[in-house]
């Protein structure tokens, strides 16, 4: 099967995105008809609204964090027979109009992992986030021996068969960095796609101190694992 015949879906992890998630799903479906929303133990109507908007919905009974929500979405995509998937957030900060850019880059290059890159235009990005993204992306790029300008961006494309290699153990947003490190260690090339990011009045789910601590704990565990031959 040629890459332009492969099946793609979009996976959206969501937590308490009631009032926003339906519009996100409807917008995404303009560019990719198959959408999987993982409701990560929301206390509002996130799952019902996503389902009514036409998404396949998977529910966590309790909040397990973004890493586990993504893992659940990856498993569902493989179960349904998709060849590759795009991930984006449920809060409206990623522009669905950029989905075709990921698909085009994948079809043209075959690169199995593509990460959105916001860093060419950071004029609208909050200053602290800009500094944090640049530092963490520099650090992870050194560890991966390949340049990924925006490693903290959750807008990504993965070929589904690579995802069996990346059982995430990290909580929260550190999980997305761990995925890239494990894929790089396994020898996969990671590319980048320019994307826009929309900053509005929604409250960020990133907790700077807590998530930074988790990030460095993940790095220590990852280094220890690979010193032991990939075994904890």
Q: In which band, very low, low, confident or very high, does the pLDDT at 74 lie, cut at 50, 70 and 90?
A: very high
Give strand ranges (E) for the chain. 8-14, 35-40, 56-60, 84-87, 113-117, 156-159, 190-194
Residue 108 in tokens: 């043209």
Is residue 83 scored above 70 in pLDDT?
A: yes
Averaged pLDDT, 207-219 = 69
Enumerate the β-bridge partners of residue 157: 86, 114
Residues 20 and 91: beta-carbon distance below 8 Å: yes
Give the angle subtended at the CA of 105 by the CAs of 37 and 21, to the nearest 5°: 20
Strand pairing report for 156-159 and 84-87: antiparallel
Residues 14 and 35: beta-carbon distance below 8 Å: no
Q: In which band, very low, low, confident or very high, does the pLDDT at 132 lie, cut at 50, 70 and 90?
A: confident
* pLDDT for the residue numbered 32: 98
Averaged pLDDT, 45-52 = 98
Is CATH 3.40.640.10 the right assignment for the domain spanning 3-225?
A: no
- Higher-confidence residue of 179 and 122: namely 179
Q: In which band, very low, low, confident or very high, does the pLDDT at 120 lie, cut at 50, 70 and 90?
A: confident
Query: Where are the chain's structural domains?
Result: 3-225
Residue 196 in tokens: 């826009």
Is residue 207 scored above 70 in pLDDT?
A: no
- Which residues does 148 contact at the CB level (< 8 Å), separation at least 6? 115, 137, 140, 141, 180, 190, 192
Angle, helix 174-185 to helix 127-144, in steps of 10 degrees: 20
* pLDDT for the residue numbered 99: 98
Q: How far apart are CA 14 and CA 46, in angstroms?
A: 7
Q: How far apart are CA 175 and CA 50, in angstroms?
A: 24
- Which residues does 125 contact at the CB level (< 8 Å), separation at least 6? 118, 133, 197, 199
- Higher-confidence residue of 173 and 12: namely 12
For the segment 153-169, what is each residue's pLDDT rounded down to a tens digit? 999 999 999 988 665 55
Query: What DSSP designation does 91 have?
Result: T
* pLDDT for the residue numbered 202: 52
* pLDDT for the residue numbered 10: 98
Averaged pLDDT, 84-94 = 94
* pLDDT for the residue numbered 193: 97
- Predicted TM-score (pTM) of the model is 0.86
* pLDDT for the residue numbered 173: 61
- Separation in Å, CA 178 to CA 6, 12, 183: 27, 18, 9
């Amino acid at each position: 099967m040629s890459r332009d015949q492969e099946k793609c879906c979009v996976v959206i992890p969501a937590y308490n995105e009631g009032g926003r998630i339906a519009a996100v799903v409807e917008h995404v479906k303009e560019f990719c008809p198959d959408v999987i929303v993982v409701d990560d133990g929301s206390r509002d109507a996130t799952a019902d609204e996503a389902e009514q908007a036409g998404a396949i919905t998977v529910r966590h009974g309790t909040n397990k964090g973004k890493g586990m929500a993504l893992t659940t979405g990856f498993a569902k995509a493989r179960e349904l027979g998709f060849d590759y998937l795009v991930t984006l957030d449920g809060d409206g900060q990623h522009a669905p109009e950029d989905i075709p850019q990921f698909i085009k880059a994948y079809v043209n290059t075959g690169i199995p992992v593509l990460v959105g890159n916001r860093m060419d235009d950071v004029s609208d990005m909050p200053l602290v986030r800009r500094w944090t993204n640049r530092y963490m992306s520099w650090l992870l790029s050194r560890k991966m021996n390949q340049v990924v300008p925006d490693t903290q961006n959750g807008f990504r494309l993965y070929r589904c068969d690579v995802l069996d290699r990346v059982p995430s153990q990290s909580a929260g947003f550190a999980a997305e960095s761990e995925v890239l490190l494990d894929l790089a260690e396994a020898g996969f090339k990671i590319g980048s796609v320019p994307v826009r990011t929309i900053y509005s009045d929604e409250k960020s789910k990133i907790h700077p101190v807590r998530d930074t601590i988790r990030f460095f704990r993940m790095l220590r565990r990852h280094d220890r694992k690979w010193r032991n031959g990939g075994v904890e």
